[in-house]
Amino acid sequence: MDNPTIDQGKLFDQSVVPTATTDDGIRVNRITLAQPWEWLGKGWRDIQQARRYSLTYGSVVVLVSAIMTWALVSEGYVFIVPFLAAGFYLLAPVVGLGLYQMSAHLERGEPLQFCNALEAWKRNQGQLSIITAGLTIIMQFWMLANFVLFALLYTNLHPPLESFFSVVFLSGENNVFVFASVLVGFVLAGLAYAISAISVPMLVDRKIDGFTAIRTSVKAVTTNWLPMGLWAIMIVMVIGLGFLTLYVGLVIAMPLLGHATWHAYRDLVPRESDSV
């Protein structure tokens, strides 16, 4: 049957009720441009309700990121740090596992006793491993693609490793390579976003297989490409601000986006009781 549509003039109307659409057994809701902003508001509310655990979670993320960065810099591998930051974007949906579980507990009115990453992983660890492996493969493919593009398109003398990123990407002398690298990165980032936008919280919430979660996530993104595009931009900006503050801002940015992603999943996927 025909998918229901929303009047374009009502895209910003928060009173519009999401309408479920069915395609090959995958059911997602249509959302408006207002809802990504609502997700941030709900994410902030969850931080306030679980302040101790949320901020501890964010602090651990910052500590691990800082240790990895320090190790690379101290060994002279500064050029890898920007790639590490790009990898963080790709793997962030898995990093937020415990935050989804916290929001689920808060939603049910259950008390929190610890940071729930291990609990969330154990709920569906085999299928979560599929998503994690897929995102890791995409990250490795992106890095490999950059090495190949560098070998094919870079014509100057090989720069020293300590100044590799600034010379190759920021000097303005290698625009063809930079354009190709950014284009490949954009395509792969879009693929990673589509398969992971809501698949990880869905696997935490339901005993389903990873491929069903991925198909649902892709369907949610393509059905709601405009608001989900806005949500992707918001994610990039919030995490980017965390990086600009030398990771300190991630103490809040990571919990905010993690909790908000749970509410995105709740808005985009009909409850199991509604799909019967």
**Is a pLDDT exceeding 70 seen at residue 40?**
yes
Give the rounded percent of residues in the chain with a pLDDT score beyond 90: 58
Q: From residue 183, give the alpha-carbon distance in Å to each of 58, 145, 146, 177, 238.
A: 31, 11, 11, 10, 22
Pinpoint the alpha helices (H) of the chain. Answer: 35-49, 51-74, 81-95, 97-107, 117-123, 125-153, 164-165, 175-196, 199-205, 210-223, 225-244, 250-268
Q: What is the mean pLDDT of the chain?
A: 85
Query: Among 97, 92, 99, which Cα is nearest to 135's?
Result: 92
What CA–CA distance (Å, rounded) separates 13 from 82? 39
Q: What is the DSSP letter of 24?
A: T
What CA–CA distance (Å, rounded) separates 115 from 254? 14
* Contact yes or no for 154/169 (Cβ under 8 A): no
In terms of pLDDT, which residue wins out, 165 or 64? Answer: 64
State residue 74's pLDDT score: 87
In this predicted model, what pLDDT tens digit does every residue of 104-139 receive, in sequence order? 999 999 988 777 788 889 888 899 999 999 999 998
What CA–CA distance (Å, rounded) separates 68 from 137? 20
* Contact yes or no for 48/112 (Cβ under 8 A): no
In this predicted model, what pLDDT tens digit does every residue of 1-25 receive, in sequence order? 444 444 444 444 444 445 555 556 7
State residue 182's pLDDT score: 83
In this predicted model, what pLDDT tens digit does every residue of 232-269 receive, in sequence order? 999 999 999 999 998 999 999 999 999 999 999 999 99
pTM for the whole thing? 0.84
In this predicted model, what pLDDT tens digit does every residue of 182-238 receive, in sequence order? 888 899 999 999 999 999 999 999 999 999 999 999 999 999 999 999 999 999 999
Q: Which two tokens stand for residue 99?
A: 């935050």
**Is a pLDDT exceeding 80 seen at residue 49?**
yes
